[in-house]
Structure 1
Amino acid sequence: MSIYGIGKMICRLYFTFVIRAEVIGRENIPKEGPVLLCSNHISNYDPPLVGSFIKRKLNFMAKQELFEKKLIGSLLNALGAFPVKRGAGDRQALKKGLSMLKEGKVLCLFPEGTRSKTGEVGKGLSGSGFFALKSEAVIVPVAVIGKYKPFHKVTIVYGKPLDFQKLRDQKTNAADATEEIMDGIRALIDEHRKREKANES
């Protein structure tokens, strides 16, 4: 078993039995072909949570500083991560991400670029819109809801793919495309909260 496979198994056991993760919508992720997963960001646990419950290998960006330590950098590479310089458009990272999508892989992004301190979805950076417009990937919004506390439920919702063909045809700019993605994430959170309230009443 690969390092990725071992890490995934350990994380899945942890999220299932300690965090008590509730998983919704796994069937919305295509079994093959390029996929862009875009999730809100509330914790450092988000990347392993998003990847633990899907069959396909996840690839994601991580801040370049983490790769400066050789051991950690090697481990991150084995786990599907690649470096990105924060605070500016990193052309090398953009090319790497596009290349992965062209190869039919799954790329996971956290458009906000940093963790939300309030738990509410913030403004997304334009990189997500760039990948969505410049590739033929299926765009799947993802919502992580709750707090990572032992035996307190965290819910992860993989939403239905967003229809981006019209935006691609219209040559929409990356910022507007990102906002479309963020709206999709917010809609998942709102729908889940309404469901929870309905179940309580």
Structure 2
Amino acid sequence: MPTPAPRRVRATAAAMDLLRRLRAAHGPLMLHQSGGCCDGSAPMCYPAGEFIVGDRDILLGLLDLRLRTGELPDSEPNPEDLAPVWISGPQFVAWEHTQLVLDMVPGRGSGFSLESPEGYRFLSRGRVFDTDELAALTAVEVITGAAFELGDRPAPADEPQVVGEAIDACPVPGTRPGAG
């Protein structure tokens, strides 16, 4: 049986809780994985539409803010329940072998990102896809900003989107029983 394609983006329960609070305060959201400059390489959170997605930006996934740890969706979400996660095309080339795990930690992030005044900042963690996962991803269409504008959306995934903690998606060998 072939390996199913993994999600390109997942989030911790804490990051999803913060996203839900931000959505309650600011309305629908979007995220963009920054490639550097004044905000480093931080994931940036904006009100939906306030960051211009380029035609060649890549959609990593749609975070379904209704979901909790380990859940899979049981119905179609409303558009305001989805927070698209984008990355620039050149940055995607550097990250395409990696699953991005959106986490949050105490501290002050960039002044441009919505969570900045909350006393927390979003943080990208990564897990390198194994050989079978990479092979499965070759069959998955990469959605660009231009294709998204034309209505392309990612296919549903069988893998839960929300993990309890980052280590649940990015295990460190030898840190948990059974970890190898």
User: Given the two structures, how large is their TM-score scaled by the length of structure 1?
Assistant: 0.31
- Considering Cα pairs closer than 8 Å and 6+ residues apart, tell me whether 1 or 2 has the greater RCO: 2
User: Given the two structures, how large is their TM-score scaled by the length of structure 2?
Assistant: 0.33
Which has the greater radius of gyration? Answer: 1
Higher helix share: 1
